[in-house]
Amino acid sequence: MAINTFAAAKDKRAPQLNVRDGKAPGEGRGSQRPVRLRGIGKMRKLDLCPFTQRLAAMLDAGLPLVQAMDALAEQSSNPNFQRVVKDISARIEAGDSFAEALERYKELFGDLYISMIRAGEMGGGLAEVTARLAKYMETSTAMVRKVKAAMTYPIVVMALAFVLTTGMILFIVPVFAGIFADFGAKLPGPTQVLVEVSNILRHDALVVVIVTGFCISMFRRFLRTEKGRLLFDRWILKAPVAGQLILKVSMGRMARTFASMIRSGVPILKSMEIVAKASGNMYIGNAILAASKKIEGGSALAVALKECGQFPPMVLHMISAGEKTGNVDGMLEKVADFYEDEVANSLESLSSMIEPLLMAFLGTVIGGIVICMFMPIFKMNEIVGN
């Protein structure tokens, strides 16, 4: 009984854990309402992947699940995640299945994780499924890390360009504007526009900040709507350069997730529901859900995906070949490998191209401001003459 009330004792010292049903974890088999966790994204990134890798190693070595969970709780350096693991261990010892215990922390573990664990328990291959899940998470994390690393440099350069441009407009342009004002002559068009922008930013900065914040807030609210996200995800796939890269990333994630779930024994319709969310693009996700309805009506997987019209021919041919040979998961793994290599190559090529392009952009912005400021000087004779 002491084990069952572990989380209740901790709850007073841990405001991060907010139990919605108001009951202590472990109060009966029916207490499976989810727990809301703060910092969920950080916990998932920092703790979930190494936790799964270590759990897979322990289960493969033959350790009982409860003993492995207790050991992992002691190894965790995150006190919040440690409490989660201990509560899950207590629930398993009290009679819940691993998947049922994880269901309470669905926000942290997600549908894919819980479904694969449930399939592993039902099929008697929990250690194998956990190892597959650990590999999947490791591969996904590596892909996200590559994309973020490739985006870091352009973001830094763009931020530098913004800071330099703002600094010049706020502090340097007014000096030149004061000098030109003494002559009382009409300034060239580009210079006059630059001076007006400087005046607006200096004298109406609060209005600019409020309007900008309002526009960003409205755009974010628009993206949170189903229609807004669908329109944006559809548009981004058609964007030059970025569209193809995002499509490759989505196809790779879809194929890797789908292969892992099929190989783990998750039913195909449930798999497709989870894969639709894991694709990272609502437009592609809706196509997967539409295909699942066609499969439910009796269509083959490759045929259903082809009728949706959102999937590259290579993906369709590989899945069709897998259906004919009874190796769909193997073919999906090959598709995932192909697209992950394509993403890596695209990022490498993009990195080599983006540096000169960004330098050219930075030079154009800064150089344009400098030219606008010096244009009146080039026409000083006309200005003085007037």
Quick: pLDDT tens for 223-268: 989 899 999 999 998 888 788 888 888 898 889 889 888 888 888 8
Residue 56 has pLDDT above 60, yes or no: yes
Candidates 113, 85, 110; CA nearest to 25 is 85
The amino acid present at 33, given as its one-letter code, is: R
Model pTM score: 0.70
Task: List the domain boundaries for the chain.
Answer: 6-124, 135-386
User: Residue for token digits 């993206």?
Assistant: 223
Question: Looking at 151-165, 261-275, 372-386, which range is the least confident one?
Answer: 372-386
Per-residue model confidence (pLDDT) at position 13: 34
Per-residue model confidence (pLDDT) at position 231: 92
**148: confidence class by pLDDT, cuts 50, 70, 90:** confident
Per-residue model confidence (pLDDT) at position 83: 87
**30: confidence class by pLDDT, cuts 50, 70, 90:** very low
Average predicted confidence (pLDDT) for the chain: 81
Q: What is the DSSP letter of 34?
A: -
pLDDT tens string 256-295: 889 888 888 888 888 898 888 888 888 998 999 999 999 9
* C-beta separation of 121 from 53 below 8 A: no
CATH for the stretch 6-124: 1.20.81.30
Residues 6+ apart with CB under 8 A from 318: 331, 332, 334, 335
CATH for the stretch 135-386: 1.20.81.30
The Cα-based distances of 386 to 178, 316, 374 in angstroms read 17, 73, 18
**Do 6-124 and 135-386 fold alike per CATH?**
yes
| Residue 258 burial class via C-beta count within 10 angstroms: exposed 0-12, middle 13-18, buried 19 and up | buried
Residue 251 has φ and ψ, to the nearest 5°, of: -65, -40
